[in-house]
């Protein structure tokens, strides 16, 4: 079974080689890596082109202008041909058995949507000693995700392609992965957790995800504009989101 690995890149020259290394080190080797560069101003695209000449499993594309991660990911997804879709961002890392264990988990249990626990690392790869999505849950539903019962880090997710008619992300600048998870869960499937750290998520000083005010605004926008929830329902879900953002360990 082929796994299509989806990555958006933008000025990622510092970390993109490490990402490729963690993919190459996987114990499961039947994969293709599709990277869409979002009009980088550094040498990211040049590096990826050279890489694709050496490794036929690497397929590289480039946006005509800076367009955001959603358009970049959607382009790679549209060009992919795998039985499974996996995501990894341009500065994150996978542990060696990530793909193998996730495919086995999904095949053994007939799951279409899975995610893993992950740990946070800094720019140098040092651990913050913080693990995310390692709490005692088996799966997450649409209503659970509205209330952010789990984080579902993008670089941890794997999807079975044939289970979904549309795997494209909503065209918003941030939170597009969360918007996709909601869209898929809304079909009635659940996302199943592998409560083992198989991914390392890099936290950088200029990371969009570190700005709590922007994250809160994005969350509200998704409730009201993407999911079109009624006002009271949006307030209810936002309260759950805010409580978990403050008190989740």
pLDDT score at 247: 65
Asked if 60 and 48 touch (Cβ cutoff 8 Å), the reply is: yes
pLDDT score at 211: 72
DSSP conformation letters of 76-134: HHHH---SEEEE--TT-EE-TTHHHHHHHHHHHHT-SEEEEEEEEE-TTS-EEEEEES-
pLDDT by 10-residue block (mean), the chain, 249 residues: 98 98 98 98 98 98 96 98 98 98 98 98 92 90 96 97 96 92 98 97 72 87 94 95 75
- Tokens representing 32 are 């293709």
- When divided into structural domains, the chain yields a total of 1
pLDDT score at 144: 96
CATH number of the domain enclosing 204: 3.90.550.10
Backbone dihedral region for residue 55 (phi beyond 0: left; psi -120 to 50: alpha; all else: beta): beta
pTM for the model: 0.94
Parent domain of 155: 3-247
59-64, long-range: CB < 8 A, 24+ apart = 59/32, 59/33, 59/34, 59/35, 60/35, 60/36, 61/34, 61/35, 61/36, 61/37, 62/36, 62/37, 63/36, 63/37, 63/38, 63/39, 64/39
pLDDT score at 210: 56
pLDDT score at 107: 98
pLDDT score at 245: 78
């Amino acid at each position: 079974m082929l796994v299509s690995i989806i990555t958006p890149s933008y000025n990622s020259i510092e970390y993109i080689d490490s990402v490729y290394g963690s993919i190459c080190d996987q114990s499961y080797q039947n994969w293709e890596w599709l990277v869409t560069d979002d009009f980088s101003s550094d040498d990211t695209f040049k590096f990826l082109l050279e890489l694709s000449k050496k490794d036929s499993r690497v397929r590289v594309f480039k946006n005509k202008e800076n367009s955001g991660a959603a358009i970049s990911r959607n382009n790679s997804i549209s060009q992919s041909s795998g039985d499974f879709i996996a995501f990894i961002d341009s500065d994150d890392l996978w542990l060696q058995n990530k793909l193998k264990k996730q495919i086995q988990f999904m095949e053994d249990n007939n799951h279409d949507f899975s995610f893993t626990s992950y740990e946070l690392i800094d720019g140098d790869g040092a651990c913050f000693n913080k693990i995310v999505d390692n709490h005692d849950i088996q799966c997450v539903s649409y209503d659970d995700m509205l209330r952010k019962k789990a984080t579902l880090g993008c670089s941890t997710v794997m999807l079975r392609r044939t289970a979904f008619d549309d795997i494209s992300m909503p065209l918003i600048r941030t939170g597009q992965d969360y918007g996709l998870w909601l869209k898929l869960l809304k079909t009635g499937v659940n996302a199943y957790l592998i409560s083992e750290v198989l991914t390392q998520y890099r936290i950088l000083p200029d990371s969009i995800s570190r700005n709590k005010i922007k994250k809160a605004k994005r969350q509200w926008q998704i409730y009201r504009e993407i999911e079109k929830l009624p006002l009271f329902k949006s307030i209810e879900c936002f309260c759950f989101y805010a409580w978990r953002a403050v008190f989740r360990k």
